[in-house]
Amino acid sequence: MRHLVFIHRGASGPEEIGIALDGARCEVTVGGRNEAAEAVRLPDGRLSLVFEGGRQICGRVRPGRNGEVEVSTGSGVRRLALAEPLRDRIAHAADGAAAGGGEEQVRALMPGRVVEVAVLPGDRVEAGALLLVLEAMKMQNEIRATRPGRVLRVEVEAGKPVEGGAPLVVLASES
Amino acid sequence: MTPSPSRKRLLVANRGEIALRIFRACRDLGLETVAVYSDADRASPHVAAADHAVRLGPAPARESYLSVPALLAAARKTGASLVHPGYGFLAENAGFARACAEAGLAFVGPTPDAIAAMGSKTGSRRLMQAAGVPVVPGTSGPARDAAELARFGREAGYPILLKASAGGGGKGMRRVDSERELPAALARVASEASASFGDGAVYAEKLIERPRHVEVQVVGDARGDVVAVGERECSIQRRHQKVVEECPSPVVDAPLRSRLLETAMAAARAVSYTSCGTVEFLLGPDRSFYFLEMNTRLQVEHPVTEEVWGVDLAAAMIRIALGEPLPFSSESLSPRGHAIECRIYAEDPLRGFAPSPGVVTALRLPQGPGVRHDVGIEAGSVVPIDYDPMLGKLVVHAADRAAAIARLARALADYEVAGVETTLPLFRALAVDSEFRAAAFDVQWLDRRLEGGWLARDPETADDLLLAAVGLAEAEAVARSPDPADATRSLWGSAARREALRGGY
């Protein structure tokens, strides 16, 4: 059983999508609603989902331009902004920077375990500086500063698990 | 050594879907086929479909499909005795038809004289007037003064169009709605014409408002017989290029049809027409019609006529070129149902129809009753930048127009071309458009629709999100799997791995 979390940026703003994969069985959680389906890849590469009530949908899913996901079905081709949280964060780092005031909370966008903390409160960091390393989905993800600043607080400890959404480091921006 | 084939061989001086279409007719008639190709087309389907194939030259059409010496050499090399030009390229080039004849090859098309006579705008207009074919009324030459134009306006009826004799491309034209406006309009056009073209001569034409494009399929043989095989409605155009064609026209009733067909046959007889050809007309809202031009070739949209009239126009052309009489007569023909053709181009309708060359990574064609494909690509095909970006044609046929539109919608929902953008979204929008369904359109209708932002990117649906999420989850899971065998199961294949590596976190 694998659990994944994606960020979907639709018309109503970013939302979290949870997926559980267990062989052909999958469960998708969107906005508190949960749908279970059997997922099968067709010989021509398309994906078919049969839901528990018997409803079937089918389409081709491919990586699109600019990190989007392209879905083509009988009614046409659409590109969705759907990405794994860290990649979503990288893609939309500029949004946060523009919206943020003096303080920026760096959050864990999926549950994981802190492997290493690379900064101490008071440190000055440049954009791109390593803040900490988070292990999630058996991958070690380097969490880096998206802009220059000063470390105000470190909220986690190496070796400790963190929840999805938990604050990791708080930065004060320096412009 | 020139081979002497036991069966006759036909060379198609073309590529893509039309080459395949003509090869099928050859197979039906027991002829051997000869393909020609440029360097861009060695792996194209038309080459693999042929019994013989000859390289013409580099990708640019000038050095390959338009090279008369290379084509004649290819015919010599393979012992072909017939040459079919298809459409486009050299199809309406009298010089090529003549060169084939001089090389002892049967040109599958009309005579060089007929091509030349219909190729001249002014010459064909005079010829048609002499044959009693209505042309758009106009002053016979530059008007001497405002009084002559006023006389013309009263005779032809307003609105009229003033045109600079030396003009072109839409420049130096002005619409005049009444005699009162005439003096000022004439002064304006004449001064514009002098300034832009150094020639102030002005002539006038009747302005046909919101015309439809209706054309008649004609077929003639060497004995002088001419048959008209119904009309086609081709008013769905984008910037004067046909996009959708139908047979029959939804606005042509039996009396109008018989007048159109009689007129088209008179036009064909006037040039002793001996092959498949098309006489194009502008049809006004008052049901008056005027000769536009004659296309002296097999047309892109010939399949809609074939479906409704139960004829094989490509085969008929070849049989006539072999010296046989017309394989059908007016009496033996009767129409059945309604057919619609969509020209599927590798263009992005959401980005101003920008060409979208590339690799067709997946191709799924709809099947079932009343669905025909004349397609020049396969999954894996490269759409080259060197030629017309038409991928193929979807043709649906049903008992009546409403059923044909329903069938079109059904087929489009199953049509998938991946890897390149296509005009399929345009046809999906058309199939549900109320004015299209009511056949309430004219030749500028689609341009007006497109200007109004009619084609928008579809909003994503909840189902799209479910598919995307599961597809992405599988790709991510596989990309992170330590087992390399998983990669082959990935929905995204190596692309996902590359993307994952490029992610850089």
Q: What is the pLDDT of residue B384?
A: 87
CATH number of residue A20's parent domain? 2.40.128
Helix ranges restricted to H, chain A: 85-91, 93-99
CATH number of residue A130's parent domain? 2.40.50.100
Look at A30 and B425 and tell me if their CB atoms are within 8 Å. no
Tell me the nearest-neighbour CA distance from A16 into chain B, angstroms: 11
Domains B9-108 and B146-206 in one fold: no
First to last CA, chain A: 45
Judging by beta carbons within 10 Å of its beta carbon (0-12, 13-18, 19+), is residue A109 exposed, middle or buried?
buried
Distance CA B235, CA B441 (A): 7
Look at A82 and B461 and tell me if their CB atoms are within 8 Å. no
Chain A residues with beta carbon closer than 8 angstroms to that of B464: 59, 71, 73, 78, 80
Q: What is the pLDDT of residue B496?
A: 41
Distance CA B98, CA B107 (A): 8
- Same domain? For A26 and A99 the reply is no
Q: What is the CA radius of gyration of chain B?
A: 26
- Same domain? For A43 and A75 the reply is yes
| CB proximity list for B320: less than 8 A, separation 6 or greater | B219, B220, B221, B222, B274, B275, B326
| Average of per-residue pLDDT across B263-286 | 97
Pairing of strands B32-38, B9-12: parallel
Q: What is the pLDDT of residue A98?
A: 45
Q: What is the pLDDT of residue B451?
A: 92
pTM value is 0.83
pLDDT, one tens digit per residue, over B160-207 is 999 888 776 567 788 999 999 999 999 988 888 888 888 888 889 999
Tell me the nearest-neighbour CA distance from B205 into chain A, angstroms: 44
Nearest-CA residue of chain B relative to A86? B505
- Same domain? For A29 and A11 the reply is yes
Judging by beta carbons within 10 Å of its beta carbon (0-12, 13-18, 19+), is residue B456 exposed, middle or buried?
exposed
What's the CATH fold of domain B9-108? Rossmann fold (3.40.50)
> Which one from B15, B297, B401, B449 is the annotated catalytic residue?
B297
- Same domain? For A104 and A50 the reply is no
Of A83, A115, A141, the position where a domain reaches its end is A83
Q: What does the longest C-alpha to C-alpha distance in chain A come to? A: 57
Per-domain boundaries in chain B: 9-108, 146-206, 210-336, 340-458, 462-503
Domain count, chain A: 2
Question: Does the bond joining B159 to the residue before it have cis omega, within 30 degrees of 0?
Answer: yes
Measured at the CA of B129, the angle between CA B127 and CA B130, to 5 degrees, comes to 65
Taking the Cβ of residue A63 and every Cβ of chain B, the question of whether any pair is shorter than 8 Å is answered with yes
Q: Which domain holds residue A158?
A: 85-173
Asked whether the predicted pLDDT for residue B1 surpasses 90, the reply is no
Q: B340-458 in CATH: which number?
A: 3.30.470.20
Taking the Cβ of residue B378 and every Cβ of chain A, the question of whether any pair is shorter than 8 Å is answered with no
Across the interface, of B466, B489, B503, the residue whose CB is closest to A57 is: B466
pLDDT, one tens digit per residue, over B403-430 is 999 999 999 999 999 989 999 999 999 9
DSSP for B215-237, please give it. EEEEEE-TTS-EEEEEEEEEEEE
By C-alpha distance, which of B79, B75, B71 is closest to B3? B79
Q: Which amino acid is at A74?
A: G
Question: Across the A/B interface, how many CB contacts are shorter than 8 Å?
Answer: 132
Range of lowest pLDDT (A156-160, B195-199, B332-336): B195-199
Of A50, A83, A116, the position where a domain reaches its end is A83
Output phi, psi for B492, to 5 deg. Answer: -105, -5
Active site residue B297: yes
Taking the Cβ of residue B413 and every Cβ of chain A, the question of whether any pair is shorter than 8 Å is answered with yes
* Sheet with strand A112-117: strands edge to edge: A139-144, A130-136, A112-117, A161-162
Taking the Cβ of residue B453 and every Cβ of chain A, the question of whether any pair is shorter than 8 Å is answered with no
Measured at the CA of B178, the angle between CA B175 and CA B179, to 5 degrees, comes to 110
- Same domain? For A97 and A165 the reply is yes
Span B146-206 CATH architecture: 2-Layer Sandwich (3.30)
Report CA A8 to chain centroid distance, whole Å.
9
Tell me the nearest-neighbour CA distance from A98 into chain B, angstroms: 22
What's the CATH fold of domain B210-336? D-amino Acid Aminotransferase; Chain A, domain 1 (3.30.470)
Nearest-CA residue of chain A relative to B462? A30
- Same domain? For A128 and A151 the reply is yes
Taking the Cβ of residue A21 and every Cβ of chain B, the question of whether any pair is shorter than 8 Å is answered with yes
Residue A91 has a CB neighbour count (10 Å cut-off) of 16
Tell me the nearest-neighbour CA distance from A161 into chain B, angstroms: 19
Please provide the average confidence, as pLDDT, over all residues in chain B. 92
- Cα dist from B228 to B113, B127, B248, B331, B505, whole Å: 21, 19, 13, 11, 69
Look at B416 and A60 and tell me if their CB atoms are within 8 Å. yes
Distance CA A79, CA A53 (A): 27
Across the interface, of B425, B467, B477, the residue whose CB is closest to A21 is: B477
Confidence of residue B335 (pLDDT cuts 50, 70, 90): very high
Of A35, A56, A83, the position where a domain reaches its end is A83
Pairing of strands B32-38, B52-57: parallel
Output phi, psi for B296, to 5 deg. Answer: -95, 60
Say if CB A170 and CB A104 are below 8 A apart.
yes
